[in-house]
Amino acid sequence: MTLIQGVVAFFCSVAGSWLAFPMTISAVVFTVVATWSVLDVWITRQVWRQRNGVVSEPSSTARRPLRDKHGKSRAEATASLSEAA
């Protein structure tokens, strides 16, 4: 977006249009706002990571691995077979 505004401002200044100055100002302001926004998000994420660290335990909604499910059903099947015998 800022690149387009810069090109339009350049062509306006070459053509001698009155829009050259407002387009230049808006391009500078837009660049500052976009840079500030990106830095704000980036710094906030870094601070969040530094304060809270990395949580390595799975959430309550995480699925159990398939190995655990199959391992338990095999153990239950083996136990029921041994009880039946």
> Model-level pTM greater than 0.85?
no
Give CA–CA dist 13/77, Å, rounded: 82
Q: HSE, CB side, 13 Å, CA atoms: give it for residue 10.
A: 6
Centroid of chain to Cα 29? 25
pLDDT of residue 70: 58
Tens-place pLDDT, residues 67-77: 655 555 666 76
pLDDT band at 80 (very low <50, low <70, confident <90, very high): low
- Residue 48 pLDDT > 60: yes
